Amino acid sequence: MQEKTEVRTIASYKRLNNSHMGNPAFAITFKDGGCIRTKANCSCAYLVCDSLIGQTKTITTITSPVSGRVRIVNIQ
């Protein structure tokens, strides 16, 4: 899997259905455009809350070599 780290400003987020394991999932939209969801069962989803909106954070994503899906694996 290809890992990428970027500094981006969070514009909004949307709560998605829980994973099959019962963990939360979110789709995060950024001010510069684009929307990426959190990886299933990733602990970074527990960091998502209203206070993140408007903040600039370091976002680490991975891209699946098979499907090409991009998912957030870390928010700092």
Domains of the chain by residue range: 2-75
As its CATH architecture, domain 2-75 has Beta Barrel (2.40)
Sign of the C-alpha dihedral computed for residues 1, 45, 25 and 11 taken in this order: negative
pLDDT for the residue 73: 96
Q: What is the pTM of this model?
A: 0.90
Q: Is 90 exceeded by the pLDDT of residue 1? A: no
Task: Classify residue 32 by its DSSP letter.
Answer: T
pLDDT in tens, 15-64: 999 999 999 999 999 999 999 999 999 999 999 999 999 999 999 999 99
Positive or negative: CA dihedral 13, 58, 46, 23: positive
